[in-house]
Structure 1
Amino acid sequence: MVPMVPVTPTVPMPIAVADLDLDGLDGKVLSFRCVDDDMTGEVHALVRLRGRPIGTVLGRVPPGADPAATLAALARERLAGHRKPPPETYRDLPRTSVVVATRDRAGQLARALGSLLDQDHPDYEIVVVDNAPRTDATRALVERKYPGIRYVREDVPGLATAHNRGIAAADGAVLAFTDDDVVADPHWLTALTAPFADDPRIGCVTGLILPARLRTPAQILLESHGGFAKGFTPRTWDPARPPADQPLFPFTAGSFGSGANMAFRATALKGVGGFDPATGTGTPARGGDDLYAFVRVLAAGHRLHYTPDALVRHHHRETWQDLRDQAYGYGAGLTAYLTALAVRHPALLPALLARLPRGLAHARVMTAAREARETQPTGVPGEHGAHSHPWPRSLSRLERRGMLYGPVGYARARLRHSRSEAR
């Protein structure tokens, strides 16, 4: 009998990240930049048409070949038939406050602030919220290097509490939020805030999040399964016209966007009471602060719009343990935000319960599809969210365990927050 030999999973090689701008799919290359300055192995390229993101491609650049020409040829093949985005027309853009919450990550924050100061938006401010800091490094960075940026401190830990502190300090008609581990495209804030001028019923806008680096297996696996992005097709959700493809709408908040790239009309966000301070990273709830805000704004009758033109690049966590923590946190944040809605806004509970049967049936179909993909051979991420790496069942189990914990975490976070307020 031949002994069984354990099969070691193929470890993906690092993937370079690039940005390719074309003058139409059949046009010339307008610009090409390798984001992490390393063109070895595979290259994952964002493709733009005259600055507008339309998709991603993955290809190998042969030794001695022109990387821009190679990837442009691949883009013409993979994205053939893609329509050129219509010309951008912007009305007067609203005064905007960009809120960045951070905790003891001055090095990453400096990189993010550099990109935020390079925005082409005509009227905005930046507010840095230093959340429960253990050192004065963030204050020193902002005050010495960025005197034009507003610095505020929030000693109660938690992302939602920090964001609420930023809301109180901000003066913009639109409140934009991003993280300290992103690099914002120069056109990010303009694209993110333009929909508010175009449609007075829009209460929230989210944007495209792509990886800044794909150097580790954890980063590649996350991006292969979609990462944080929501695709390259603009979409508007209207509570007056629930979408047929989302049986749990508006409770399918994860499909709307992510907290690293979101903006709210100030009156809409303040009108629903801001973020729930018992949600978010930095609390026992582990997450769900952005999901809670999305649903609250939609439930109040506002529209939510997603635009791929508003781009930030996110520095994904690098290690396997980071990915495990992230999977658990996603599950916990999901049920924590649903618990927050049930506790703080019980009038929404009948609508949620009425949608559950169709929603559960839809979830079973999606789960079966993902488990089928787990048996696929290892590959690399090509077009966004291609699921070309098998998703480990251990991460799915961690996500489910997080979902069981979420209500408990939310209860603990509420108790901790109430004690903080009583001091």
Structure 2
Amino acid sequence: MAHADLVKLDGTFLPVTTTFDPVTGDVDYAAFGANLRRWFSSPIRGILVAGSTGESVFLDEGERIGLIEEARAVVPDGATIIAGTGSESTRHTIRLTEQAADAGADAVKFQTYVPEYICSGDSERLARLCKFRLKDEEVSQLADYAKTQDVIFFSTSFDIETAKFLNSIQSVFKIASSDNNFFPLIDSIAHFMKPMLVSTGGANIGLIDRIEKSIKMIWKNANVDPGLAFLHCVSSYPTPRKQANLAAIPTLVRRYPGATVGYSDHTLGIDAAVCAVSAGARIVEKHFTLDRKYSSFRDHSLSAEPEELAQMVSKIREITELLGTGEKIPQSCEAESFPLIRRSIAAVTNLPAGHVLQLRDITWVRPGTGIPVGEERQVLNKTLVKSLNRWELITLDDVE
């Protein structure tokens, strides 16, 4: 079986930043490797190297390949390395993809779109989008090459035509908050019968109901349920703490029992992401960076730094352990204490042999090693075969 068939894109993947020497400005591979070792001390599944978070626009081909090779040498066996190979030049992108595959990357990730389907009336933005766009035939070439090299190819779509084109390649789709009312796109992707994650920034319950109904109806008609997730999200960068509205998470959990509920965090710090798990989130998305001072770009201000990321993961694991299964049953740690703290039926006063027990003759005391509360019928209106002292537990051998 091909390597690309074996790699699973499940679990947590981190888009890692690139380290640079503060004096020379060169890539600091030793520091990069040290950061990877620290990140993989947390339960992550893999990394994205040389993506937009990794300052890819500042890297040449040799530096990108050097980062991939360093990652391959450092990351644990079984971890997945995704190489960001997007570039302004199509030829350069293809070249980077070839070298990423040769360097041992497990997957390559792109963004695919038709600029005219994204914006209108903004010639400057349109020109910028056109500059970075890959044509369908070029993306197909990249996908085909990735298969020959046993690496996974996937790309984010931003329009219906791109989504249709990518369907033969994609295994999962995500609807951005900006498009969660773009039903032509949602319905088109739902017809692919593949798992969908929907961010709910800017949406109310009415809109989310409509999203769920639309997707589930399409899947029901096809007799499939590949999996739907709703991510609570506030589309503000950063999100004010007073408007994080984490109480919406249990609302989503209760209202959509057939979906997984998660949280896409845009607040400062890690508190909201950790609290979201207590509120019921089972998917947590959090931006991160090596240093928030590295860039003035808005993502850096709301990103967790490495130590915060490790702390967040640790706290989420602790909270998950504390939450348990949610099934209300006695726990094994209670087994030793219950015989001591439960109550048994006992004599409320000294009672002679031959006495017929009435309700006024009994009481209930610890430990719970005798006849339990609720089983009074086993002794009431029965005759004592022996005398009992006050507070003495009554046994079945004491009556007839």
TM-score bracket relative to the smaller structure = under 0.3
Higher strand share: 1
TM (norm. structure 1) is: 0.25
Larger Rg, first or second structure (1 or 2): 2
Q: Which structure's relative contact order is higher, taking Cα pairs within 8 Å and 6+ residues apart?
A: 1
